[in-house]
């Protein structure tokens, strides 16, 4: 039986879906995480603790586990936090993998921008602000409005639009406070980019020996104009005209190549600006949160199964996305405070086309809105014959929800 080592950070949304996919494939799982509590005692032999903040040490622990306890056929990081450790470990174990330098570049927005610029990939103009730099002047250089963002976080955390030089300077201070709050170095570089106005799409893909196969292109029908960039609705297939879609896919492929990515899932965001398509970013992982549940391939195969099959070198032929349209809505967090309740859940579930609603923050728990927030309130899923019907179902279901948040 093939054995896969899954890197499951304690905060991941993906544990169930990956473990389920492994069992559907008849693959044995070794679970690796930062804390032992996440693992059942009965799994002693198939569990290990990894210092994910130290990818080198985490990779060494994986290699030692494979040598001393049980060999593994693939190392798969289920999301961002484990990708570098997975690439380093897979390299040392002689498994197909992305170069660690490429993965490191995807985890550092300045490293990404620099590599993309060197390869001439179309992206927003950017400058880097270090402590003491005149952010207002840098904002004027890239052109206003601009976007100020940390180089290291994800999920739009700390990403802010600024319309004038003074607002850009203020945003940079706020980014530094958010970095400190996230336990990261507040004196690190901050990016200042030109704001690319226009629709945005997300591309879900899979790289095999450097060749990009597109699994899905998602439209994001809610305008992402800032000042913060909360993700809401994703709908696939994209309604963009075919030539624009092709330009988007070409840009993502060029971006992955420029970064040096060759193997495994990629998740990318692209803006369709007035002057053409611009790459926002490429990550060396699949789509975040529970959003992958909107995707089904071939005879009902999940994205997690596709990723595991690829990592294990199993066949992937005929794995086209289903013919129906599908979508997901990441439920917005309207304000920070304490979550009292979410009403209207049954009415939302009863909307035709809605296939699921998962709330991922429990009652009584704190919730934080962007730009500080880092968790999703929950996810709504829909399937219908057309993208329009999917979007409509998601909007109608969302209108039933009453999110009650109390000041804390």
Ligand X SMILES: Nc1ncnc2c1ncn2[C@@H]1O[C@H](COP(=O)(O)OP(=O)(O)O)[C@@H](O)[C@H]1O
Q: Whose Cβ is closer to ligand X: residue 98's or residue 112's?
A: 112
**Contact flag: residue 219 with ligand X (CB under 6 A):** no
Query: Out of ligand X, Mg ion, none, which partner does residue 204 contact, by CB within 5 to 8 A per kind?
Result: none
Considering the rule CB under 6 A, would residue 232 count as an interface residue with ligand X?
A: no
* Contact pick of 200, 204, 219, 305 for ligand X (by CB under 6 A): 200
Residue 44 three-state SS: helix
The stretch among 16-24, 182-190, 192-200, 384-392 that binds ligand X (CB under 6 A) is 192-200
What CA–CA distance (Å, rounded) separates 103 from 112?
10
Q: Is 319 helix (H, G, I), strand (E, B) or coil?
A: coil
Helix residue ranges, H only, 294-378: 303-311, 345-349
Among 18, 65, 195, 234, binds ligand X (CB under 6 A): 195
Q: Applying CB under 6 A, does 373 fall inside the site for ligand X?
A: no
Q: Which 4-43 residues touch ligand X, going by CB under 6 A? A: none
Question: Which helix or strand (DSSP H or E) is residue 250 part of?
Answer: helix 242-259
Among 299, 273, 375, CA closest to 333: 375
Q: How far is the CB of 193 from ligand X (least distance, A)?
A: 4
Cα(397)–Cα(286) distance, integer angstroms: 26
List, as one string, the DSSP characters of 382-393.
Answer: EEESSHHHHHHH
Q: What angle do CA 15, 287, 267 make, to 5 degrees?
A: 135
Stretch that binds ligand X, among 81-89, 154-162, 242-250, 380-388 (CB under 6 A): 154-162
Residue 193 is a binding residue for ligand X (CB under 6 A) = yes
Q: What tokens does 301 get?
A: 């195969």
CB 269, min distance to Mg ion, A? 5
Contact between 142 and ligand X (CB under 6 A)? no
We find the least distance from the C-beta atom of residue 222 to ligand X, in angstroms, to be: 10
Q: Within 10 Å of residue 285's Cβ, how many Cβ atoms?
A: 24
Q: Give the residue, chosen from 14, 113, 149, 398, that forms a contact with ligand X under the rule CB under 6 A.
A: 149
204 binds ligand X, rule: CB under 6 A? no
Work out what residue 257 binds among Mg ion, ligand X, none; the CB cut-off runs from 5 to 8 Å by kind. none
Q: Which does 33 bind (CB under 5 to 8 A by kind): Mg ion, ligand X, none?
A: none
- 245: partner contacted, choices Mg ion, ligand X, none (Cβ within 5-8 A by kind): none
Site for ligand X in 155-174 (CB under 6 A): 155-157, 159
Q: Which of 33, 81, 154, 286 binds ligand X (CB under 6 A)?
A: 154
> Hey, is 138 helix, strand or coil?
helix
Give least dist CB 313 to Mg ion, A.
Answer: 29
Q: CA-CA distance, 276 to 274, in Å (whole number)?
A: 6
Question: How many residues in the shown chain lie near ligand X by CB under 6 A?
Answer: 19
Count, in order, helices (H) and strands (E) of the chain: 11, 19
Closer residue to ligand X in complex, CB, 149/400: 149
Q: For residues 279-338, which are near ligand X according to CB under 6 A? A: 280-281
DSSP 188: S
The site partner of 195 among ligand X, Mg ion, none (C-beta below 5 to 8 Å per kind) is ligand X
Rounded distance between C-alpha atoms, residue 381 and residue 398, angstroms: 11
341 burial type by CB count under 10 A (0-12 exposed, 13-18 middle, 19+ buried): middle
Say how far residue 404 (Cα) sits from the centre of its chain: 27
Under 8 Å CB-to-CB from 275, ≥6 apart: which residues?
none
Position 390 contacts ligand X (CB under 6 A): no
Q: Does 196 bind ligand X (CB under 6 A)?
A: yes
Give min distance, CB of 194 to ligand X, in A: 6
Map the footprint of Mg ion across residues 257-286, applying CB under 5 A.
269, 281
Q: To the nearest whole angstrom, how small is the minimum distance from the Cβ of residue 150 to ligand X?
A: 8
Q: Name residue, tokens 């013919």.
A: 323
Q: What is the H or E stretch that residue 171 is in?
A: helix 165-181
The residues that touch ligand X, with contacts defined as CB under 6 A, are: 124, 147, 149, 153-157, 159, 193, 195-196, 200, 224, 229, 269, 271, 280-281
């Amino acid at each position: 039986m093939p054995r896969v080592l899954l890197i499951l950070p304690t905060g991941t949304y993906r544990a169930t879906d990956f473990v389920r996919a492994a069992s559907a494939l008849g693959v044995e799982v070794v679970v690796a995480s930062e804390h032992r509590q996440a693992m059942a005692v009965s799994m002693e032999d198939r569990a290990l603790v990894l210092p994910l903040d130290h990818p080198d040490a985490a990779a060494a622990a994986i290699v030692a586990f494979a040598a001393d306890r049980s060999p593994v056929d693939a190392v798969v990081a289920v999301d961002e936090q484990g990708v570098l450790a997975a690439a380093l470990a897979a390299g040392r174990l002689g498994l197909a993998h992305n170069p660690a330098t490429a993965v490191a570049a995807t985890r550092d927005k300045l490293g990404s921008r620099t590599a993309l610029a060197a390869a001439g990939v179309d992206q927003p103009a950017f400058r880097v602000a270090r402590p003491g730099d005149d952010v207002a002047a840098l904002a004027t250089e890239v052109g206003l409005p601009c976007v100020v963002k940390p180089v290291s976080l994800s999920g739009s955390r700390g990403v802010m639009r600024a319309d004038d030089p003074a607002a850009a300077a203020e945003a940079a201070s706020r980014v530094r406070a958010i970095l400190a709050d996230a336990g990261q170095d507040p004196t690190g570089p901050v990016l200042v980019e030109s704001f690319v106005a226009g629709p945005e799409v997300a591309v879900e893909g899979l790289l095999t020996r450097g060749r990009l196969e597109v699994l899905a292109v998602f439209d994001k029908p809610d305008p992402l104009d800032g000042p913060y960039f909360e993700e809401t609705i994703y709908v696939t297939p994209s309604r963009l005209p075919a030539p624009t879609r092709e330009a988007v896919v070409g840009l993502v492929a060029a971006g992955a190549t420029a970064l040096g990515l060759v193997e495994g899932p990629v998740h990318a965001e692209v803006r369709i600006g007035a002057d053409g398509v611009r790459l926002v970013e490429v990550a060396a992982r699949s789509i975040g949160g529970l959003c992958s549940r909107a995707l089904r391939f071939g005879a009902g195969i999940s994205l997690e199964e596709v990723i595991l099959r690829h990592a294990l070198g199993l066949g992937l032929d005929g794995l086209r996305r289903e013919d129906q349209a599908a979508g997901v809505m990441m439920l917005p967090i309207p304000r920070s405070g304490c979550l009292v309740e979410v009403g209207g859940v049954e009415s939302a579930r009863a909307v035709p086309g809605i296939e699921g609603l998962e709330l991922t923050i429990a009652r009584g728990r704190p919730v934080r809105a962007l730009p500080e927030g880092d968790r999703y309130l929950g996810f709504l899923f829909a399937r219908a014959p057309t993208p329009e019907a999917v979007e409509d179902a998601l909007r109608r279901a969302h209108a039933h929800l009453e999110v009650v948040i109390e000041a804390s």
